[in-house]
């Protein structure tokens, strides 16, 4: 992953990861305790349309990748 400083900080200090799929009213999200769990979930779709975000205890978040 090629992350900027803010994204890397969020990733390094994440307390959870959120996987988001869809647009508008069709958007779904699922929270995970680890990046690997979010990644495994996203890979079940095999379409690179799942956005994974890192979330910190302070409420900061950053888009990490699409899987």
Alpha helix locations (H) across the chain?
5-12, 35-43
**What pLDDT, in 10s, does the model give residues 8-24?**
999 999 999 999 999 99
Range of the domain at 47: 5-66
Q: Is 37 exposed, middle or buried (0-12, 13-18, 19+ CB in 10 A)?
A: middle
> CB within 8 A of 42, min separation 6: which ones?
19, 50, 52, 67
| pLDDT band at 59; cut points 50, 70, 90 | very high
Q: What is the mean pLDDT of residues 19-37?
A: 96
Rounded Cα distance, 53 and 42, in Å = 12
**What pLDDT, in 10s, does the model give residues 49-58?**
999 999 999 9
Q: How many domains does the chain have?
A: 1
Q: What is the pTM of this model?
A: 0.94
- Please check whether residue 13 is in contact with residue 56, taking contact to mean a CB–CB distance below 8 angstroms: yes
């Amino acid at each position: 992953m090629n992350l900027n400083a803010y994204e890397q900080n969020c990733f390094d200090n994440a307390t959870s990861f959120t996987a988001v799929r869809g647009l508008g009213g069709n958007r779904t999200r699922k929270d995970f305790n680890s990046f690997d769990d979010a990644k495994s979930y996203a890979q079940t779709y095999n379409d690179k349309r799942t956005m994974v975000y890192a979330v910190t205890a302070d409420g900061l978040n950053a888009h990490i990748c699409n899987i």
